[in-house]
Amino acid sequence: MSVPATQHPSAVQMRDVPEAVVRGDISAVLEKFPEDVVWYSPAADPAKRVYRGRDGLARFFGQLQERSNGTMRPEVEEVLGSDDHVVAFLHITAERDDDRLDVLVAHFATVGPGGFVRNWFLPSDTSAWNRFFG
């Protein structure tokens, strides 16, 4: 009997990440990533394109929460996983004053010892993403 891709342990672990973000539990988020995590973001500012280590990843999530006044909500659309890779499709919304963000994000990650080692975070509309979070 084959196991659906969405039930692979990597997929199950990735599903926990946006749920922890919604709860504001960044410690639980960071537990899913190794100390040497690398996170690639589509930021217009070159200084905000790559975050290294758990401290860097905590800064990334902190900036998203700060710029959205705590309103950023990732909702899992689908997660596909294997022993080596995982892809999560997230519907992300956020509001700030009269500004609203509503995008689909593909989060690609390589799986290694300690969690999701290399991560690429790709919104469907990078212009809207950078306008809102830039």
What per-residue confidence (pLDDT) applies to 134? Answer: 85
The predicted-structure confidence for 84-126, as pLDDT tens digits, reads as follows: 999 999 999 999 999 999 999 999 999 999 999 999 999 999 9
Rounded Cα distance between 32 and 110, Å, is: 12
Angle between helices 126-133 and 53-67 (to 10 degrees): 80
Rounded Cα distance between 63 and 134, Å, is: 10
Rounded Cα distance between 92 and 101, Å, is: 8
- Classify 99 in phi/psi space as left (phi over 0), alpha (psi -120 to 50) or beta: beta
What per-residue confidence (pLDDT) applies to 4? Answer: 52
Query: Dihedrals φ, ψ of 62, to 5°?
Result: -65, -40
Query: What pairing do the DSSP bridges indicate for beta strands 73-81 and 50-52?
Result: unpaired
Rounded Cα distance between 107 and 111, Å, is: 13
Cβ-contact 88, 18 below 8 angstroms: yes
What per-residue confidence (pLDDT) applies to 7? Answer: 80
The predicted-structure confidence for 32-81, as pLDDT tens digits, reads as follows: 999 999 999 999 999 999 999 999 999 999 999 999 999 999 999 999 99
Rounded Cα distance between 89 and 5, Å, is: 14
Rounded Cα distance between 80 and 64, Å, is: 24
Q: Is the pTM of this model over 0.85?
A: yes
